[in-house]
Structure 1
Amino acid sequence: MFIFEVLFYFFIAVVFVQVIFYGFIFGKFAAIKQKKVSNSNPPVSVIICAKNEAENLRTNLPFIVSQSYPNFEIVLINDNSSDKTLKVMEAFKKDYENIKIVNVQPVEKFWGNKKYALTLGIKAAKYNTLLFTDADCKPMTKHWISEMSARFDTEKALIIGYGPYQKIKGSFLNLLIRFETFMTAVQYFSYTTIGLPYMAVGRNLAYKKELFFEANGFMSHMKIKSGDDDLFVNQMATPKNTAICISKGSFTESIPKKTFKSWFLQKRRHVSTASHYKLKHKVLLSLFYCSQLLFWVLAILLLIYLYQWQLVLGLVLLRFIIQYTTLYSISAKLDEKSLIIFTPILELFLIIIQFFIFIKNLSSKPNHWK
């Protein structure tokens, strides 16, 4: 039984790591309260890059143009679309004078590269404050621009927002997508809270134009077709220049994938991009995932063989209590309480799927942009 004794002590170490993550790292974010900020209302350039997004633009642009904000423009980037995306943009421009269109033609060197299109859009933007979202996203309130822009100050040049996915009743895939999005947000908000900002999502992200030029744009990772959001943040975010915005008025809602295959491919792209993060961030993310995986594997194994089962069960319960307490508090902040009751099932499914994504990415590279 020596092997089980080793596994038991290893399990104790794994639980300890999980308690550190949920109780202290994520717990610190769970405990914070979003500070009130002054409404300085700087002029804002909202930037939306679209490739074959005609229908989504028709649906979501009305939520952008109707924002309650005194001075903003909307920069619509048509990235060589083959559908009616450009015509939809032009139709909106006729009705709203604060819309600017950047029509990107294909360039062989940057073929199919969203970062090239975004660069042209950013250069065309009139204002220094840039606010990004996607064509398939819509602000959940009329105060999205004001809530996000109000987080800027003399030090803060990069603001990380939250972009949940639309709820679809009766869909397990939708639950899984929303849980994965929630847990990803738990991590990037938590790490930012402790002074280790490492990523954000382009569905809801803001930064100063001067920061973009300071980074020399996307040049350091232009050859990597994905990562216009998280790789840029990973490169430029610091504890001093980065802030989070978690007020419910600042959320943007996106349309989730409808099939497991399309979502799996999307996650493969995200994971492949994460391999280019800074080493310290990759270590933290890997440690959290490995401790999750080992927690489930070792707990199940030790309980099946009834080795020190009372102690093992006690440690399992301790970890779940801390996890639930922390995630429930965070879910209240991010308006995702409906996910928490399903946490063990969704967590286990997600761990398994992430394992297969890792294996699949070792053998082939996923496609990028549309």
Structure 2
Amino acid sequence: MPPLGLLLFILLTLVCLVQLYYYGYFFRRLAFYKEPAPRQQSLQHPVSVVICARDEAGNLTRNLPGVLLQQYPTTNEVIVVNDNSVDESRYVLAELQKTYRKLQIIELTQEAKLIDGKKFPLSIGIKEARHEVMLLTDADCVPATEHWMFRMQDAFAPGIEVALGYGAYHKQPGVLNKLIRFETFHTALQYLSYALAGKPYMGVGRNLAYRKGTFLRNKGFASINHIPSGDDDLFVNKVATKENTTVVIDPDAFTLSAPKQSWTEWRKQKARHYTAGKYYKAGHKALLATYTATFLLFYPLFIASLLLFDWRLALIPFLSRLIVQGIVWKKAMTRLQEADLFAIYPLLDLWMFFYYLVFIPTLWKKPGKWK
């Protein structure tokens, strides 16, 4: 039987090769993504924007005008479902409606029994929408530019039913802000790259679009109504295919959100999001689990190989992964306008090891409530 040190080095090499496969087959697709050739004539679909809000008076005041002031010449409407708010949301929306005629308000005054999260208010908003192309975002989000609506709807060529966008966070001082933005980038690196590889598995409700007909044909959220989260990623996981899904990576189509200001708030937010992962399709769970498992094994195996084997040989897989990762992350971060994070990318990679250790156990916890 080979010595323990050699076995550990062999395992390190195998884990490194799996990681390099993910970078070479999946993640390079986002990093080196080339915009499709422009159409001779851009598409201009009628659009319904749907936003759910509960006790979001401050966010509605700050962010909703950015949605209402989009430069889009074709018919569009903005629907806000005010879900049992007890703050000043009703009055904020009423004042905005006086200025913006396309703002439609739906007031919900009763809770939906046995339907967790925001799926019920979102379903109401979608069913009330007048147009086929629906653009979804959150009350705490603002479009990065006045061309967000145009860029997102332009993705709906014939046959396209789902368009995945990027929901970024505002850049602020501090370590927490960098970690939140990096985790958001790392998640987007996966779901956008997988979609480009023909394996779409999720989207984010901060910036997502699909056809109303797709929603109705798949009976909305009926199969996931018992899960507090999942109105975005689980629905996409159910309906998205290689043929009917596209991505929109134009910076004009990004949205921006205010990040959490404390570690506790962020941890609660991420724990709630991770509980939906166990409901993904088996193939998607296998892909994600393999990547995460090899990510978690890499550093312990590297340290063990340094101590119990030849440290010079142990550096070969370590540096190979670091170099390939650096090339891909640099390009992808630049594309998603997160290039300032690259200066500390080795530290951020190490951080993700501890991040996974903290959040993987939440997959088996009972999800918390939306609000």
Partner secondary structure for residue 109 of structure 1: coil
Instruction: State the partner residue of 1:316.
Output: 318
Instruction: State the partner residue of 2:267.
Output: 264
Q: Does 1:208 align with 2:204?
A: no
Instruction: State the partner residue of 2:102.
Output: 98
Structure 2 distance, partners of 1:191, 1:102, is 36
Instruction: State the partner residue of 1:197.
Output: 200
When the two structures are superposed, what TM-score results if normalisation uses the length of structure 1?
0.96
Structure 2 distance, partners of 1:193, 1:337, is 21
Matched-pair identity in %? 40
For residues 181-240 of structure 1, the C-alpha deviation after alignment (integer angstroms, 9 at most, x for no partner) is 000000001100110000000000000000000110000111111110000000000011
Partner secondary structure for residue 217 of structure 1: coil
Moved over 6 A (4+): none
Question: Considering only aligned residues, what root-mean-square deviation do their CA atoms show, in Å?
Answer: 1.3
Instruction: State the partner residue of 1:167.
Output: 171
Structure 2 distance, partners of 1:40, 1:291, is 42
Q: Does 1:341 align with 2:343?
A: yes
Indicate if the aligned counterparts of 1:110 and 1:116 stay in contact, CA closer than 8 A.
no
Indicate if the aligned counterparts of 2:229 and 2:367 stay in contact, CA closer than 8 A.
no
Aligned match of 2:123 in 109, 119, 122? Answer: 119
Partner secondary structure for residue 22 of structure 2: helix
Aligned match of 1:130 in 131, 134, 137? Answer: 134
Q: Does 1:304 align with 2:307?
A: yes
Q: Write the letter of the residue equivalent to 2:96.
A: F
Indicate if the aligned counterparts of 1:34 and 1:245 stay in contact, CA closer than 8 A.
no
Aligned match of 1:234 in 216, 228, 237? Answer: 237
For residues 109-130 of structure 1, the C-alpha deviation after alignment (integer angstroms, 9 at most, x for no partner) is 1465310010111111111110
Instruction: State the partner residue of 1:356.
Output: 358
Compared with structure 1, are the counterparts of its residues 162 and 95 closer, same or farther at alpha carbon in structure 2 (3 Å cutoff)? same
Structure 2 distance, partners of 1:139, 1:243, is 19
Equivalences, count: 367
Structure 2 distance, partners of 1:28, 1:245, is 13
Q: Write the letter of the residue equivalent to 1:194.
A: A
For residues 35-82 of structure 1, the C-alpha deviation after alignment (integer angstroms, 9 at most, x for no partner) is 134422111001110011000000011111110001210000101111
Structure 1 distance, partners of 2:82, 2:352, is 34
Instruction: State the partner residue of 2:297.
Output: 294
Unpaired runs of 5+ residues, structure 2, are: none
Indicate if the aligned counterparts of 1:115 and 1:222 stay in contact, CA closer than 8 A.
yes
Indicate if the aligned counterparts of 1:51 and 1:78 stay in contact, CA closer than 8 A.
yes
Q: Does 1:16 align with 2:20?
A: no
Q: Write the letter of the residue equivalent to 1:368.
A: K
Partner secondary structure for residue 152 of structure 1: coil
Structure 2 distance, partners of 1:18, 1:112, is 37
When the two structures are superposed, what TM-score results if normalisation uses the length of structure 2?
0.96
For residues 244-280 of structure 1, the C-alpha deviation after alignment (integer angstroms, 9 at most, x for no partner) is 0000100000110110011111111111111110011
The alpha carbon displacement at 1:361 in A equals: 5.0
Unpaired runs of 5+ residues, structure 1, are: none
Q: Write the letter of the residue equivalent to 1:11.
A: L
Aligned match of 2:72 in 62, 69, 72? Answer: 69
Q: Write the letter of the residue equivalent to 2:12.
A: F
The alpha carbon displacement at 1:90 in A equals: 1.2
Instruction: State the partner residue of 2:287.
Output: 284
